Amino acid sequence: MVDVRWYLDPSRRGRDEYARGHLPGASFLDVDADLAGPGGARGGPLGRHPWPPEAKVSQVLGALGLRPSDLVVAYDDQSGAIAARLWYLLRAHGHEAVALLDGGFRKWTAEERPLSTEVPAPSPTTYPVRLRPGFVLAKGEVDASRDLVLDARAGERYRGESEPIDPRPGHIPGARSAPFTENLTADAVPLFRPSSELRARYEALGAGTREPVVYCGSGVTACHDLLALHLAGLGGRLYAGSWSEWSSDPTLPVATGPE
C-alpha cells in the first residue's frame, strides 16, 4: 500500500497528512520528490513534473522494498487524481501488479476504517526497471493530426479562460477536452464510473479509431484518464511534459476556445 497524497496548494503537504494518519502498513511517496525527475519548475522548460529517469525509479521502488511480483495498491484523497501517476509509472516500467484504491482515503475514513501513524521500515531491494517503449512521449512526438490528443485538465483551462499555473493559456492545437473529473461518479465520495460508461465516453471522443495521447498540466492527472481508458479496455499513452512544458516553449503553437 502506498499513500500518494499531494496538493497543488503549497501550504499543504502530503507528507504531513500521511504523518497525521494513513492506511495501516502504507508507505508514502511524494509526487515532486519521488515520482518526478529533476529540473521541474513552474515556467521551466521541462515542465513541472518531468518524467523520472530509470535510475531514480529503481531507487524509489527499491527503497519501498518492492519486488517485481508484489502487488502495489496506490491511494490519495482526490479520487485517484494523484495516485494514478504511480499506477501509470509502475506499468510504464513493466510492473503490472498495481491497482488504485477506488475512493481512496476519503472512502476509507467515511467507512470509519482504522488509521495508523506507524511508518513501515521495509528492507531495501534492488529493483530492476526499464521504461517500456511507447508509454511516454516527448513533446516532439505529439502529433494531433495522427493521434487522438486528449487534455485532462478542467474545461476552462483547456479553453484558455483561466490559467493559474502555467505560462500560457489554452491547449495543444487539435487536442480534445477530456477532464479527468468526468471519469467519476457524482457521489459524495466519487468513484470511477463503470467500465461501460467510460468506454462510451472515450469512444465518443474518438478512442478506438485513433490511439489516445493524454496530457494535463504536468503529467499527473493525465494518468487518471489513462487509467480510465485502461478500465474501458482502450489504450493510451502519456505526454509527460504536458501543458507546463508545451506552454513554456514559445515556438510551439497554442489554441484557445472550445475546439
Type of residue numbered 180: F
d(CA 58, CA 66): 10
What is the gyration radius of the CA atoms in the chain, in angstroms? Answer: 18
DSSP string over 75-121: E-SSTTTTHHHHHHHHHHTT---EEE-TTHHHHHHHTT---B-PPP-
DSSP string over 187-222: SSS--BPPHHHHHHHHHHHTBTTB-EEEE-SSSSTH
C-alpha cell at 84: 494514478
Cα 18 from chain centre: 19
Q: How many Cα atoms sit within 13 Å of 164 on the Cβ side?
A: 5
Catalytic residue among 60, 72, 137, 216: 216
Look up 216 and say whether it is catalytic: yes
d(CA 36, CA 16): 19
Q: Annotated active-site positions, please? A: 216
